[in-house]
Amino acid sequence: MLSKEDNKLLTETDKGTPMGELFRRYWVPALLSEELPAPDCQPVRVTLLGEKLIAFRDTNNQVGLLDEFCPHRRASLFFGRNEEGGLRCVYHGWKFDACGKCVDMPSEPPESNFKSKVSIKSYPCREFGGIVWTYMGPENEMPELPVFEFTLVPESHRFFSRRIQESNYFQGIEGGIDSSHISFLHRRVHDNPTPTQKAVENGAPKFEVGKTDYGLLIGARRETKDENFYWRITQYVMPWYALIPPTTNQSQLRTGHAWVPMDNENCWHWSFSWIPEAPISEPMRENMRAGRHELHTELIPGTLRPVQNKDNDYLIDRELQRSKKNYSGIRGIGMQDAAVQESAGVIVDRSTEKLGTSDAAIIVARRVMINAAKGLEKGEAPPGLDVEKIKVRAASIMLSKDVPFQEGAAELMKLRESDFVYSS
């Protein structure tokens, strides 16, 4: 359980809160580059850390991220004209460049210098790995952009998506680093299960959780019928990333997630899929794009809200559930996770929960996050900002029972850019 005071500290991310200030020291994935497909395209609403913002790509291909509301009379710039190097409010024509500078004020007399005294809140943006990143913290504390394997592989090797999750961000993180629930929520019936599939059926893995410079290294150990342990090794990278182990080490497709706060009651759920050694096939990419892939979800047209959502009980199929082919009766791993995480309420009351041994990683992750926020208040540097130290991988492996997973899987958990052809 967590005290009400610590739960409040953990879940509140607005500007001025301890956690909100911590998150503003990291680069934030704001949106996909493809959501701003061309210079002078339509602007996009983005809510991050309790702030309503507008993203746009200007005539010179520079991305700007501004306060959504014009400083004149607070009209939304979503309706603005993206033209000639800036975003123009349609109410009175005030125009702002990507840095927030007011560059035109046609509603004022030509001789007026008022526009030189007006600006709009803006945040710096960088594009890397198909993602528009923004930094919302103190300028003199800006770190390097994070580097993950999914940001380094060529565009043809990766597919990313983001969607709205109607819960606090940390409920998503808790699900992402919980390797025991896959034996239940995501259970599948296999006619001729492999040893690995058989091992995953063990719903009571033993956890070994180690703190790292970047977050947590989480090993979930399952018994097998031979002399080996089956290990699923998850990497939790501060402040909101989970690199998910493949079912087997032979799996080409790699996956990861991020849960980025929109506000205290909603978050952006990012899903990253990539194949280091080869392009994603066009049929697989089309399934991901259409929301027919396990992680990437079908969205209501024109929105980032899933078709399966709490208003329709995630389209649960009770006949499918009774058939035992699908443990939950909900289709898709992503929506299975969303259903249980959102069903607990927008912010879980953690003071009433009863945690067991399978929650070891969650308990440590909460403390790591809370300590990082409190440490920042004392002047300590946030963890996970060293780009070299976050170059890690998740892994799955069968190991002899006398071999620690930290040793037996050491090579699998390293990200060596020289092993593959990465994009520059």
- pLDDT tops 50 at residue 181: yes
> Rounded CA gap, 47 and 25, in Å?
17
- pLDDT tops 80 at residue 416: no
Fold of 27-141: Rieske Iron-sulfur Protein (2.102.10)
Decide: residue 45, CB within 10 A, 0-12 exposed, 13-18 middle, 19+ buried.
middle
Q: What percent of the chain has pLDDT over 70?
A: 93
> Rounded CA gap, 382 and 74, in Å?
35
Neighbours of 118 (CB within 10 A): 16
- pLDDT tops 90 at residue 349: yes
Q: With bands split at pLDDT 50, 70 and 90, how would you rate the model's confidence at 197?
A: low
Predicted confidence (pLDDT) per residue in 399-415, tens digit? 999 999 999 999 999 98
Predicted TM-score (pTM) of this structure:
0.94
Query: What average pLDDT does range 193-214 have in this prediction?
Result: 78
Domain 149-419: CATH class, spelled out = alpha beta
Predicted confidence (pLDDT) per residue in 375-408, tens digit? 999 999 999 999 999 999 999 999 999 999 999 9
User: For the chain, how many residues are written?
Assistant: 424
Hey, what are 12's tokens?
A: 């509140």
Neighbours of 8 (CB within 10 A): 15
Q: Where are the alpha helices (DSSP H) in 331-422?
A: 333-343, 360-377, 405-408
**Continuous segment of H or E residues that includes residue 286:** helix 282-289
Predicted confidence (pLDDT) per residue in 2-59, tens digit? 999 999 999 999 999 999 999 999 999 999 999 999 999 999 999 999 999 999 999 9
Q: Please give the pLDDT value at position 185.
A: 87
- pLDDT tops 70 at residue 229: yes
Q: Please give the pLDDT value at position 424.
A: 45
Domain range annotation of the chain: 27-141, 149-419
> Rounded CA gap, 88 and 76, in Å?
11
Report which of 220, 224, 198 is spatially closest to residue 207, judged by C-alpha positions: 220
Predicted confidence (pLDDT) per residue in 257-313, tens digit? 999 999 999 999 999 999 999 999 999 999 999 988 889 999 999 999 999 999 999
